[in-house]
Amino acid sequence: MLGSALAALALGLTTACGTSGPGADSDKAGVEVWMVEDASVNEVVQSAIDTYSKNAGIDGELVTYVNDAYKQRIQVALGSPESPDVFFNWGGGNLAQYVKANQVVDLTEAMEANPEFRDAFLPSVLDVAKIDGSYYGVPMQGVLPVVLFYNKKVFKEVGVEPPTTYSELLDLVDTFKKEGITPIVLPGAQAWTELMWLEYLTDRIGGAEVFQAIAEGKEGAWKDPAIIKALEMCQDLVERGAFGDNFSSLTSDNGSASTVLASGKGAMYLMGTWEISNQQEHNPDFLADGNLGFIAFPALEDGKGDPAAIVGNPSNYFSVNSDSDNVDEAIDFLVETMASDAYVEDLIEIGHVPAVAGIEDKLAETEHSEFTTFTYQLVAEAPSFTQSWDQAIPPAAAETMLTNLQLVFLGDMTPEEFAEAMEATQ
Amino acid sequence: MTSATTRVQRPGALWAAPALIFFGIFGLAPIVIVAGLSFTTWDGLGNPEWAGLHNWRTLPSDKLVGSGLMITLTLTVLTWATQTPLALAFGAWAAGPQRIRAVVSTIFFLPLLLSTAAIALIWQALLDPTFGLPAQWSELTGLSANVLGDPDLALWAIVFVLLWQFLPFHMLLYQAAAKQIPASLYEAAEIDGASPLQRFWRITVPQLRHTIIASSVLMIVGSMTYFETVLLLTGGGPGTATRILPLHMYLKGFSAFEMGYASAIAVLLVAVGTGLSLLVVRVSGYSQMTSEREGV
Amino acid sequence: MSTITARPAGEQAESVTPARSAKRSAARAGSRRVSRPAYGAGIGAAIWLVLVVVPLYFLIATSLRGSGDYLSAGPLSIPEEITLDAYRRAFEVGFLKFLTNSLIVAFGAIILVLAVALPAAFAIVRSKSRVVRIGFTLFLLGLAVPAQAVIIPIYLLITRLHLYDSLTAVILPTAAFALPVSIVVLTSSLRDVPSSLYEAMSLDGASNFQIFWNLVLPLSRSGVVTVTIFVGLNAWNNFLFPLVLTQSMDTRVLPLGLWEFQTQYGTDVPGLMAAVVLSALPVLALYLFGRRQLLSGLAAGIGK
């Protein structure tokens, strides 16, 4: 899921191939940083490394790898002699796995020594890198919550308003269906887009605790009634025709889904905030005409969850490898750089919304200020920011989850069977 | 003669050693290692840990192993059943002396120039429900545009793409063989007043029986490698409708990082692959055929 | 066309000198008189012709479209305006890098295979050693091992050898899996050499090496061509080994590059199609200038 998110963030093709360049020179002392390939963010990090290296008089180096293979690469590298000093990760369960293997430096002490550094970050985002009460990672790029996009033009033509509650959403589904418009665009060829629906519905029904329990591996957590209910609601949406007839072959990878929304063939689209860069690249007119609408996921009338809660990708994180010969330099690099004005401004420049407090004014000056401000406030006011489940749980369980979720959406598996199968992975 | 042969220089085993060692390391040792790994848990991080029979106990309860095997075999049968008759008919047709046939068969061979990845990606774009052909034909005819997303259609779509990819190759085999059928056979049949269809059934097909067997063996043994097309075209979806066994192994290994368990599936795969090859060779009499030829 | 196309090249082994028999058959076919055309097959061939041409047209037409045109016009419409923009983008994404990597892998694998397979084939044909005979049987068994079944141990081996994410990591297993077929092909082309030739040379006091150099190499030329094409195509099209054994931009080969083109850069179908066209050009050139060798490398001699 992150793969596409990050790829989409690389705004233009033209800049997409310049910056990578693995070729770690292990002889030199210094800070080696590994992250996934993402042209625009790579540039920001590179410039931060250059600045820091010059000031501190050390050798800093950035090594990048393609997103899909990065996890595999880092798995092999950590614990081997060819490992980085600072490495990119997804926080949550992904990071916890390395923490369990004693491969990550506990940053709590450094945070306590520099409280202004710790407090610079939005708490809901920083907490994703908190494992067993200790901090192991620092947010290194923008927040990517999942929001409900809609086509303003289509809404106007049909004469309806965007939904604030779930029952309004259901009414809209019926309305659009009658109009011959696909109510909700769902690129179901990729299971992680279906997962977004499960994540939000679960959160609205039972609150953030439901998934928290799953992430902590509690027994019976997958059989929580909220999960079953949420899956039933997903199946109900499919049966209602909310996603149209072709959702299972629609993909987001080749950008079809974005264009279905922009062309007015679809009315709503639940997607991460990176969707704006997809639209920018593929349907610039749609974006320029101000037809891309966005709202928070609707409230569920009888749900326990806080309607302000969000799900998505809180951020990505930089962590320090405990095998590093340069632990102190690496920590110092993070503390000096990650919340610095220069770094934050560079991130904003490339369209990110950094997880740093008090940046409203800076965001107001950006190109899509309405959208970035909306995103920022959504995250700043969120009582919880649940990480995408496929990142938060171990890879083996995530693979099973995504496979089974597709079966649920196709109607080939019942919610109970899903819960049963997932419980077995705990 | 005996005294002469004793003096004849013969190369020793040393000449074959580099090939044997190299193939031993990268071709044969992996089979042993994979069997060993199937008794471990390994997540790619650190070292494999002994897990006894755990993976093998999990295997029978994994529904996707059973279904993966079924889909693999179904795909093998369907590709064979579609490719063989068409390759035979077109191959025999293309063997004719007419100039137009030569030109057309040159075009038929063009897919041979494209890699599996290229072919899968072309068809994925062509079968896109919104911007591809399905959108157009569903507007015209009302048929479903959901080709790759329909559990029943997706497998057929794969069969078709594989047909598109491999038909030229098998056609080539039949064409080459059909050209060697003595013209006198056809001339005699023509004098007897046999129709083209009769000539095809009475002369072409029997004359090509060895090619039919050889081509079938290649298709069936080769069907274990349809992995790439499936991965690129549907990723095993929708749901698990096209998740063939090799793909299931790949996803377990390199997406779920359960490499120990994936190794158990791989052992099963080796067994099925070898079993299938042996069965085909035995049933078809392929080995007798080749040994006959070797004797020549 | 991955390993499958390869196999038939192996079959050629079993028959006698493909080139010669092909020539013979062509002559015979020319003399054949067919008075009544086969309408059934003709109609079928016409339908298949459409099915072959339409995707190829789509491929070329799309590669010449602008991105916007692709999304608005139908897949088979004639491009409104022809632009080479998509090709420019394909180069920007790194097509030349992918091409270079693919060429290195192909030539690396070819050289490696020929270097070990030629002496082995010589030994198999001429040696009386039991080790060699058993070895040959092992190679034959190797024909049946599907590569993806052993991808995990190969991944383990490559990472333990610290070769992960290098072109060498791709070359080694690619060559190893091409070895059985190559040995079968070379062995059979050497079997065609009358043993009296070997004996005559050795009676003249030639060493094994001299026999190999002056007799085996020149006489196995057709086999070498076949093997070269077979190994080269296999390496060129291979997807699985690079997928699992490499990952950075620096080691990306063409088939993987095509795939990345799709997953990394969103909706640029014209760019992807341009890259596909470019990636097919080297094989197309081979087809145009060495059609006979290419096809014989693929299939010749498998018939009766």
Contact state of B30 with C157 under an 8 Å Cβ cutoff: yes
Partners of residue B117 in chain C, C-beta under 8 Å: 237, 239, 255-256, 258-259
Partners of residue A406 in chain B, C-beta under 8 Å: 237-240
CA A35, CA A49: separation in Å to the nearest integer? 13
Residues A221 and A307 in one domain: yes
Residue C80 domain flag: no
Residue A253 pLDDT class (50, 70, 90 cuts): low
**β-pair partners for A149:** A269, A294
Residues A81 and A165 in one domain: no
CATH number (domain holding residue C260) = 1.10.3720.10
Residue A182 domain flag: yes
Residue A366 domain flag: no
CA B72, CA B269: separation in Å to the nearest integer? 10
Question: What's the confidence (pLDDT) of residue A409?
Answer: 95
Write out residues in chain C with pLDDT < 50, as ranges: 1-36, 300-304
Q: Measured between CB atoms, which of B46, B150, B234 is closest to A79?
A: B46
Contact state of B273 with C149 under an 8 Å Cβ cutoff: yes
Partners of residue B239 in chain A, C-beta under 8 Å: 248, 403, 406-407, 409-410, 412-413
CB B168 within 8 A of CB B111: yes
Contact state of C249 with A4 under an 8 Å Cβ cutoff: no
Residue with tokens 């079924």: B70
Contact state of B186 with C44 under an 8 Å Cβ cutoff: no
| Residue A335: count of CB within 10 angstroms of its CB | 18
Residues A103 and A237 in one domain: no
CB A111 within 8 A of CB A118: yes
| Model confidence pLDDT, tens digit, residues A274-305 | 888 778 877 888 989 999 999 999 999 999 99
Residues A163 and A255 in one domain: yes
Residues A190 and A280 in one domain: yes
CB A228 within 8 A of CB A419: yes
| Residue A366: count of CB within 10 angstroms of its CB | 16
Question: What's the confidence (pLDDT) of residue A171?
Answer: 96
Contact state of A406 with B145 under an 8 Å Cβ cutoff: no
Percent of chain A with pLDDT over 70: 91
Of B201, B192, B177, B185, the residue nearest C31 (C-alpha) = B185
Q: Measured between CB atoms, which of B172, B224, B253 is closest to C299?
A: B172
Contacts of C218 (CB under 8 A, 6+ apart): none
Distance from CA of A294 to the nearest CA of C (A): 21
CB A250 within 8 A of CB A188: yes
Q: Where are the alpha helices (DSSP H) in A270-388?
A: 275-282, 284-288, 327-337, 341-349, 360-364, 369-381
Q: Is A66 on the interface with B (CB under 8 A)?
A: no
Q: Is B194 on the interface with C (CB under 8 A)?
A: no
Partners of residue B237 in chain A, C-beta under 8 Å: 189, 191, 248, 406
Q: Is B218 on the interface with C (CB under 8 A)?
A: yes
What is the crossing angle of helices C18-31 and B183-191, to 10°? 30
Question: What's the confidence (pLDDT) of residue C23?
Answer: 39
The sign of the torsion formed by the CA atoms of C245, C246, C251, C254 equals positive
CB B284 within 8 A of CB C163: no
Residue A19 pLDDT class (50, 70, 90 cuts): very low
Q: Measured between CB atoms, which of C142, C240, C295 is closest to B172?
A: C295
| Model confidence pLDDT, tens digit, residues C68-115 | 777 777 788 888 888 898 899 889 888 999 999 999 999 999 999 999
| Model confidence pLDDT, tens digit, residues B155-212 | 999 999 999 999 998 998 898 888 888 888 888 888 888 888 888 888 888 888 888 8
Check whether A224 has a pLDDT greater than 60. Answer: yes
Residues A250 and A339 in one domain: no
Q: Are strands B49-50 and B40-41 parallel, antiparallel or unpaired?
A: antiparallel
Q: Give chain C's domain count.
A: 1
CB B171 within 8 A of CB B84: no
**β-pair partners for A31:** A60
Residue A238 domain flag: yes
Mean pLDDT, range A152-180, rounded to an integer: 96
Question: What's the confidence (pLDDT) of residue C34?
Answer: 47
Check whether A4 has a pLDDT greater than 50. Answer: no
Q: Establish whether the linkage from the previous residue to B129 is cis, with ω within 30° of 0.
A: no
Residue B293 pLDDT class (50, 70, 90 cuts): very low
Higher pLDDT, C37 or B125: B125
CA B119, CA B100: separation in Å to the nearest integer? 26
Contacts of A157 (CB under 8 A, 6+ apart): none
Q: How many residues does chain C have?
A: 304
Residues A415 and A327 in one domain: no
Say which range, A240-244, B21-25, B95-99, B123-127, has the weakest mean pLDDT.
B95-99
Of A100, A97, A28, A35, the residue nearest A70 (C-alpha) = A35
Domain that holds residue C187: 3-15+94-264+278-298
Q: Partners for B (CB, 8 Å, 3+ pairs)? A: A, C
Of B233, B267, B227, B225, the residue nearest B247 (C-alpha) = B227
**β-pair partners for A185:** A269
Say which range, A62-76, A200-214, C1-15, has the weakest mean pLDDT.
C1-15
| Model confidence pLDDT, tens digit, residues A376-407 | 999 999 998 999 998 888 888 999 999 999 99
Tokens of B32: 């042993």
DSSP H or E run through B71 = helix B63-94
CB C148 within 8 A of CB C155: no
Residue environment code for B29-52, b if the CB has 16+ CB neighbours within 10 A, otherwise e: ebbebbeebbbbbbbbbeebeebe
Check whether A311 has a pLDDT greater than 80. Answer: yes
Partners of residue A411 in chain B, C-beta under 8 Å: none
Q: Which 230-269 residues of chain A touch chain B by CB within 8 A?
A: 245-251, 254, 256, 259-260, 265
Q: Give chain A's domain count.
A: 2
Residues A395 and A336 in one domain: no
CATH number (domain holding residue A14) = 3.40.190.10
CB B52 within 8 A of CB C170: no
Contact state of C162 with A68 under an 8 Å Cβ cutoff: no
Nearest CA in chain C to B206: C304
Strand ranges in A98-229 using DSSP code E only, listed in sequence order: 130-131, 134-135, 138-139, 144-151, 182-185
Of B96, B130, C145, B196, the residue nearest A252 (C-alpha) = B130
Higher pLDDT, B1 or A295: A295
Highest mean pLDDT among A101-105, A260-264, A324-328, C170-174: C170-174
Partners of residue C250 in chain A, C-beta under 8 Å: 20-23
Residue A8 pLDDT class (50, 70, 90 cuts): very low
Check whether B2 has a pLDDT greater than 60. Answer: no
Enter the DSSP assignment of C78.
P
Burial of residue C160 (number of CB atoms within 10 Å: 0-12, 13-18, 19+): exposed
Partners of residue C165 in chain A, C-beta under 8 Å: 22, 73
The sign of the torsion formed by the CA atoms of C151, C157, C161, C162 equals positive
CB B189 within 8 A of CB B207: no
Q: How many residues does chain B have?
A: 296
Residue A365 domain flag: no
Residue C72 domain flag: no
CB B135 within 8 A of CB B176: no
Q: Is A261 on the interface with C (CB under 8 A)?
A: no
Residue A417 domain flag: yes
Residue A372 domain flag: no
Contact state of A406 with B238 under an 8 Å Cβ cutoff: yes
- Please give the domain boundaries of chain B with CATH numbers for all domains: 28-295 (1.10.3720.10)
Partners of residue A7 in chain C, C-beta under 8 Å: 263-266
The torsion defined by the Cα of C287, C290, C292 and C298, in degrees rounded to 10, comes to -60
Q: Is C146 on the interface with B (CB under 8 A)?
A: yes
Q: Is B45 on the interface with A (CB under 8 A)?
A: yes
Percent of chain A with pLDDT over 90: 61
CA B182, CA C29: separation in Å to the nearest integer? 8
Mean pLDDT, range A48-70, rounded to an integer: 84
Partners of residue A246 in chain B, C-beta under 8 Å: 129-130, 144-146, 149
Partners of residue B3 in chain C, C-beta under 8 Å: none
CA B20, CA B25: separation in Å to the nearest integer? 9
Question: What's the confidence (pLDDT) of residue A29?
Answer: 57
Instruction: Report the complex ipTM.
Output: 0.86
Contacts of B206 (CB under 8 A, 6+ apart): none
Question: What's the confidence (pLDDT) of residue B286?
Answer: 58
| Residue A144: count of CB within 10 angstroms of its CB | 26
Q: Partners for C (CB, 8 Å, 3+ pairs)? A: A, B
Q: Partners for A (CB, 8 Å, 3+ pairs)? A: B, C
Check whether A163 has a pLDDT greater than 50. Answer: yes
Residue C51 domain flag: no
Partners of residue B240 in chain A, C-beta under 8 Å: 403, 406-407
Question: What's the confidence (pLDDT) of residue A387?
Answer: 92
Residue A322 pLDDT class (50, 70, 90 cuts): very high
CA A320, CA A103: separation in Å to the nearest integer? 8
DSSP H or E run through C69 = helix C67-72
Q: How far is CA B54 from the centre of its chain?
A: 32
Higher pLDDT, C268 or A356: A356
Residues A335 and A396 in one domain: no
Residue C137 domain flag: yes
CA C229, CA C237: separation in Å to the nearest integer? 12
Question: What's the confidence (pLDDT) of residue C263?
Answer: 58
Question: What's the confidence (pLDDT) of residue C258?
Answer: 87
Contact state of C267 with A258 under an 8 Å Cβ cutoff: yes
Residue with tokens 């010059």: A54
Partners of residue B115 in chain C, C-beta under 8 Å: 1, 236-237, 239, 254-255, 258, 279-280
Q: Is B237 on the interface with A (CB under 8 A)?
A: yes
SS3 C143: coil
Contact state of A396 with B151 under an 8 Å Cβ cutoff: no
Mean pLDDT of chain A: 87
Residues A236 and A301 in one domain: yes
Check whether A168 has a pLDDT greater than 80. Answer: yes
Please give the interface size between B and C, counted as residue pairs whose CB atoms are below 8 Å apart.
Answer: 371
Domain that holds residue A58: 2-142+315-357
Contacts of B208 (CB under 8 A, 6+ apart): B88, B92, B174, B177, B178, B181, C303, C304
Q: Is C164 on the interface with B (CB under 8 A)?
A: no
Contact state of A68 with C266 under an 8 Å Cβ cutoff: no
**CA–CA distances in Å: residue C36 to residues A318, B177, B195, B248:** 76, 21, 8, 51
Contacts of A233 (CB under 8 A, 6+ apart): A201
Residues A239 and A283 in one domain: yes
Question: What's the confidence (pLDDT) of residue A210?
Answer: 95
Of C189, C174, C183, C187, the residue nearest C138 (C-alpha) = C183
Q: Is C129 on the interface with A (CB under 8 A)?
A: no
Nearest CA in chain C to A5: C264
